[in-house]
Amino acid sequence: MNNSLLQSDDFGTRKIEQAVKNFTKNPQAMAEFVEEIKQEALGIVIAFIGDVLTGYDTILRESASRIENWEIVRCDQKTLITSIVCV
């Protein structure tokens, strides 16, 4: 399983449970409840996308055909703009 999903399963679940408890105590705070859940869900998705892209980068770097035909001269960190957030 992906590292980001394992971490979100542990830590993210606790944060979501806390948001539900807070909402149960104060049902009029629906906007805050929705925002907390949205932020946690987005955090999980962002981490997952980053982990998947990092995994594919590793696969490409270690590819025998890439090593045979191409040389990696430099490694720059880039920001990828997606429809939901920059990764």
pLDDT tens, 11-52?
678 888 899 999 999 999 999 999 999 998 888 888 888 888
Query: Position of tokens 């993210």?
Result: 12
User: pTM of the prediction?
Assistant: 0.69
- d(Cα 71, Cα 66) in Å, to the nearest integer? 8
**Which of 49, 21, 50, 16 lies closest to 35 in space, CA to CA?**
16
Tokens of 53: 């892209």
Does the pLDDT of residue 67 top 70, yes or no? yes
pLDDT value of position 8: 58
